[in-house]
Amino acid sequence: MMLKDKELLKDINDAISNCMKCGNCMEVCPIYKELKTESAVARGKLSLIEAVLNGNSEITAGFDKRMSMCVSCKACTAKCPCGVKADELIIRARQAAVSSRGLHPIKNVVFKLLKNRRLFDFSLRMAGLFGPLSFKKLPRPMATLLRFPMPGLDRRRVLAPFAATPLRSQYPEVIKVDNPKMRVGFFTGCTINYIYTDVGKAVINVLKENNVEVVLPPLQHCCGIPVFTSGDIELAKVFAKHNIETFERYNFDYIVASCGSCTMAFKKEYPEMFHDDPEMKERAEAIAKKTYEISEFLVDVVKFDKSKLGEVNVTVTMHDPCHMARGIKVTSQPREILQSIPGLKFVEMKDADRCCGAGGSFSVAHYDVALQINNRKIENIADTNADIVATSCGMCRMHIIDGLERYKLPQDVVHVIQLLDKSYQVGAAKRTKAS
Amino acid sequence: MRQDLIDAFSKIVGAEHVLTGKEKLLDYADAATPGSSRIPDAIIEPANTAEVSQVLALANAEKISVFPRGYGSSVYKAGISASGGVILLLKRMNSILEIDTANLAATIEPGVLIADLDREVHKSGLMFPPDPGTLSTATIGGLVSQNATSMRSLKYGSTKHYVMGLEIVLADGRILNTGGKNVKDVAGYDLTKLMTGSEGSLGVFTKIIVKLMPAPETVKCLLATFDSLEKASKTVETILGDKIVPSALELFDNITLRAIGSELPAGLSPDAAAALLIEIDGIQTVVDSNTDKTTAILQSHGAAKILTAQTDEEINALWSARRAILPSLSKLNSAVLIADAIVPRSKTSNMLTAIASIAAKNNTTIAVFGHIGDGILHPAIVYNPADKNELSQAANSINAMSALALTLGGKFSSSYQKDTSGPAEMYAKQAIKLSLDPNNILNPITRIKEG
């Protein structure tokens, strides 16, 4: 057993040995900040991986548990003076754990469902249709509570309702504009297709305003990041390959996504997943080169039209999702968009790029820790006195709404693009009125 | 470890604060010291002085070794077990109990991070001068245990100059208070001084009273590169000879510069043979005049490039290059063995030349950086301890450098090498250790036993 476990991690031996155990990661790790235990922070996790590599330990349930205690926020990697990519090594350790001991039973069920695109789509449509039966709506927008206990979900948690009709079913495959200056494929991702369809609509509206033809490839599927970070690399590759093939067929000028994690999957993780498969790697890289996060796309590529914007008189603060800030390093463009909206007052919060605690499935598995991390975010939001929190990730949005509800704070949380969409709408209404 | 002992420790600190089980123990098998990983039998996290006292009393009665630890950022084998036993983790004791602005003193618990203390006292316009390279992960307890020197020791002295008083739990659990907030607070033996730098071998600090200083009005920083080490060290002699006392005067050699590479401030070449980082603080007019004088000296000594930093941001950029040294070096090979070579300032040039020939002779990579203004150099051997050849070359280099430092009238120490104390010094040290810790439970230091 030990020998086998050791073999599973052999390829990261050199990367692990670069860790000098200085513990600088302790300064930035959001989980460590709450738990103060060595096993919570990258140094402790890497020590444990090293012990397995040295044959001093093996991949046990304890190993799994420790490796699961990571939000993949990449703060340690950004901080590490030795350049150790701890977040990636922890995901590699999860992969080894999946090979050695198999997936966690709940994840196993969920991933089996996720793997079957049509069944997954059917289930989430049903969840949207029958949602009101199992979820109780709260007064605030996009917020519900579970009516009945459900496996793996904490009943205190404020969740978002599933959409009655998924985004991609609300639109034709091709959304035409009069004089298209380019044609883009919109990778919606699951949260936007099935939950936050408001974001997807805003993305489509804004692109239309800028004469961009939008295509919604119906066969697109989950980006695979949740599966990848859980350590099921083989399944993640299946998703990656499917999405690459799906988008290749169209020969788009560009591909846009409006979620930091999905964008990161296309731009960084797909080429990396196929590092030992030159043909697929090349194809993944071709797709990666065309892919942009929506705010990055509007600012850097489209140079979006600021002349048509109308006034939106609100005070907005920005939360940078981990995968935006450290995954694809897009933080200035969303701010540029917000600051270009007439009437909008932008205020920075303290530690805007610090993890909110969502961490994808992390907040499902470790809800209490996720709340503790979230409390700091909510306090920073409260200090700004902003009316609205803008962000670029559905999971962050849901988790921050949960926190705001807990603190009984009135702020709403929206995607950056929703504010831009609003501004275009106000501008259009004003022009109609004037004429 | 026996279950009844674990139960007894659990009763003192609470079961959730006694960690056992292989995976938890493995987490604490390492600190930032290469090649010294050792698994303890348990981790105990006390919350206050009373708990520390009871834990030590029990450990002493049962003759269990105790290794105090803070954040485990030491490169000198501190905070890790040498022989099973328990690690006494002091992270929970992390309160700043008092900042007394009238008496310029702060009372703090051992687990407080230097960076946190700095931040707090700055609010009152004060500073805590000892500033180790690792201030965001170093605790005050560790700083005092090691009597750490810092970047600012040239002007402000080392940690021992800032420890006014201590609360210490002795090996048998007795609680000892030394010193206090008064400037003169001792008659007879100065136990505060004895305990400072005792490396956790005489007692466990539970409260520390430190001296604070008014924060300087202004700070300026210079970073200059040279095409030879010789020019850099002559420059240092001239600066100090001209009665300029910078708050910091740090050396980087070429290996160090190359290792830092991309972390160097823009405009600096990693190909330079040496660089000096000079910080000047104080009253605006004095800082301005000393900066001008220093710049003139740098120019007349042939500095290739001089950067001046004035804003907080610019100064931080220069300092972050300094703080990047150790981690950057550790990227070059599997481990870095860092030593202290302390020589009279006038001999630093000789020491630097000799280190280069020792490295060449033993076929080792030795980077040299450090507080050159104080004559404190850190030769850092970059090697792979798993390779027998590299290990023996490293050992030979350490021994050669140690002999050299002594010949030049200096001192040498490293986590690798044995104590170089003479017989009388060793006798005194052993007598102190054995009278305060007769069972040798506290951080049983091999070099004292071996002496």
Lowest average pLDDT, out of A264-268, B131-135, B184-188, goes to: B131-135
Q: Which of A45, A75, A102 is where one domain is finished?
A: A102
Both A180 and A56 in one domain: the answer is no
Q: Which of B319, B318, B244, B248 is nearest to B288 (CA)?
A: B244
Say whether both A286 and A321 belong to one domain: no
Looking at the fold, whether A251 and A336 belong to one and the same domain comes out as: no
Same domain, A321 and A394: yes
Alpha-helix runs per DSSP H in A259-415: 260-264, 270-273, 278-290, 294-296, 322, 332-339, 362-365, 367-384, 394-406
**A17 and B CB contact within 8 Å:** yes
Give domain status of residue A197, yes or no.
yes
Q: Which among A22, A48, A82 has the least Cβ separation from residue B23?
A: A48
Cβ contact (<8 Å) for B26 and A18?
no
Predicted local confidence at residue A257, as pLDDT: 97
- The chain B residue lying nearest A41, using CA atoms, is B27
- Contact: B137, A51; criterion CB under 8 Å: no
Q: Please tell me whether residue A256 adopts helix, strand or coil conformation.
A: strand
How high is the ipTM of this complex?
A: 0.74
Q: In terms of domains, do A327 and A286 share one?
A: no
- Chain A touched by B333 (CB under 8 Å): no
**pLDDT over 80 at B135, yes or no:** no
Among the partner residues A36, A38, A83, nearest to B27 by beta-carbon distance: A38
Interface membership of A219 toward B (CB under 8 Å): no
pLDDT at B150 over 70: yes
Nearest CA among A355, A299, A296 for reference residue A329:
A296
A60 part of contact set with chain B, CB < 8 Å: yes
With beta carbons under 8 A apart, name residues in chain B contacting A77. Answer: none
Contact A328, A267 (CB under 8 A): yes
- For residue B279, give the H/E element and its range: strand B274-282
Nearest to B331 among A57, A62, A83 (CB): A83
Asked if A134 has any chain B CB less than 8 Å from its own CB, the reply is no
DSSP state of B229: H
Please list, in sequence order, all residues whose beta carbon lies within 8 angstroms of the beta carbon of residue B435, skipping any fewer than 6 positions away: none
Residue to substitute from B19, B22, B30, interface A, most A β-carbons within 10 A: B30
Give the pLDDT confidence score for residue A306 in this predicted structure: 96
Give residue B32's pLDDT: 63
Q: Is A57 on the interface with B (CB under 8 A)?
A: yes
Looking at the predicted structure, is the pLDDT value of residue B119 above 50?
A: yes
Chains A, B: CB contacts under 8 A, how many?
78
**Residue A47 and residue B21: Cβ atoms within 8 Å?**
no
Q: Does any domain span residue A127?
A: no
Determine the Cα–Cα distance for residues A58 and A61; give it in Å rounded to an integer.
Answer: 10
Instruction: Answer whether A300 touches B (CB < 8 Å).
Output: no
Same domain, A172 and A282: yes
- Contacts B24 to A, Cβ<8 Å: 39
Pair (A171, A298) in one structural domain? yes
Q: Least CA distance to B386: which residue of chain A?
A: A17
Write down the pLDDT at residue A155: 76
Chain B's closest residue to A83, CA to CA, is B331
At A40, which CATH number? 1.10.1060.10
Q: A271 and A361 share a domain?
A: no
B447 pLDDT band (50/70/90 cuts)? very low
- Assigned token pair, B132: 């180790």
Q: Give the model's pLDDT for residue B450.
A: 38
- Does residue B373 contact residue B279 with C-beta atoms inside 8 Å? no
User: pLDDT at residue B37 above 80?
Assistant: no
A266 and A188, same structural domain?
A: yes
Angle between the N-to-C axes of helices A61-68 and A86-101, in degrees from 0 to 180, rounded to the nearest 10:
150
Give CA torsion, residues B80, B86, B91, B96, to 10 deg: -110
Provide the CATH number for the domain around residue A214.
3.40.50.1860
Which residue, among A249, A282, A234, A260, has the nearest Cα to A359 in the 3D structure?
Answer: A260
Question: Which residues does chain A have within 8 Å of residue B26's beta carbon, measured at their own beta carbons?
Answer: 47-48, 51, 56-57
In a domain, A156, yes or no: no
pLDDT higher than 90, residue B186: no
Residue of chain A whose alpha carbon sits nearest to that of B321: A81
What one-letter code names the amino acid at B188? G
Q: Quote the pLDDT of residue B333.
A: 79
In a domain, residue A79? The reply is: yes
Q: Region B227-235: what's the mean pLDDT?
A: 92
Mind listing the pLDDT tens digit of every residue in chain A (435 residues)?
445 777 777 778 878 877 878 888 998 999 998 888 888 899 999 988 988 888 888 888 888 888 989 999 999 998 887 778 999 999 999 988 888 878 777 777 777 777 788 887 887 777 777 767 777 787 888 788 777 766 667 778 888 888 889 999 999 999 999 999 999 999 999 999 999 999 999 999 999 999 999 999 999 999 999 889 888 888 899 999 999 999 999 989 999 999 999 999 999 999 999 999 999 999 999 999 999 999 999 999 999 999 999 999 999 999 999 999 999 999 999 999 999 999 999 999 999 999 999 987 788 888 899 999 999 999 999 999 999 999 999 999 999 999 999 999 999 999 999 999 999 999 999 988 887
The CATH number of the domain where A421 resides is what?
3.40.50
Give pLDDT, residue A207: 97
Distance CA B57, CA B44 (A): 14
Chain A residue with Cα closest to B75: A22
In a domain, A129, yes or no: no
Residue A3 pLDDT: 55
Q: Which residue of B lies nearest to A80 if distances are taken between CA atoms?
A: B327
Report the distance separating Cα B144 and Cα B108, nearest Å: 12
Residues A172 and A235 in one domain: yes
- Residues from chain A that touch B22, judged by Cβ atoms under 8 A, are 57, 62
Q: Are residues A175 and A228 in the same domain?
A: yes
B44 contacts chain A (CB < 8 A)? no
| Domain's final residue, options A102, A121, A155 | A102
Examine residue A12 and state whether it is found in any structural domain, yes or no. Answer: yes
Instruction: Please indicate, yes or no, if residue A251 is contained in any of the structural domains.
Output: yes
- Reading the block at residue A170, the tokens are 């609300």
Q: How confident is the model at residue B351 (pLDDT cuts 50, 70, 90)?
A: very high
Residue in A60, A62, A81 closest to B327 by CB: A81
Q: Is A62 on the interface with B (CB under 8 A)?
A: yes
The boundaries of the domain holding residue A48 are: 2-102
Work out the angle at residue B353's Cα, subtended by the Cα atoms of residues B244 and B308, and round it to the nearest 5 degrees: 35
**pLDDT tens digit string along B397-410?**
999 999 999 899 99
Instruction: Identify the domain boundary among A271, A302, A333.
Output: A302
pLDDT at position A8:
76
Q: How far is B146 from chain A (nearest CA, A)?
A: 17
Q: Can you give the pLDDT at residue B133?
A: 64
pLDDT reported for residue B449: 41
Mean pLDDT to the nearest integer, B174-199? 90
Within a domain: A307:
no
The reported pLDDT for the residue numbered B451 is 31
Out of A158-162, B158-162, B236-240, pick the least confident.
Answer: A158-162
What number is the average pLDDT over the span B351-364? 92
Region B125-142 average pLDDT? 84
Contact list in A for residue B34 (CB cut-off 8 A) is 20
Best of B22, B27, B338 to substitute, by most chain A Cβ atoms within 10 angstroms, is B27
**What band does B415 get if pLDDT is binned at 50, 70 and 90?**
low
| Residue B327, min C-alpha distance to chain A (Å) | 5
* Interatomic CA distance for residues A204 and A87, integer angstroms: 33
**In whole angstroms, what separates CA A335 from the centre of its chain?**
18
Q: Report the number of distinct structural domains present in chain A.
A: 3
Q: Is residue A258 domain-shared with residue A344, that is, in the same domain? A: no
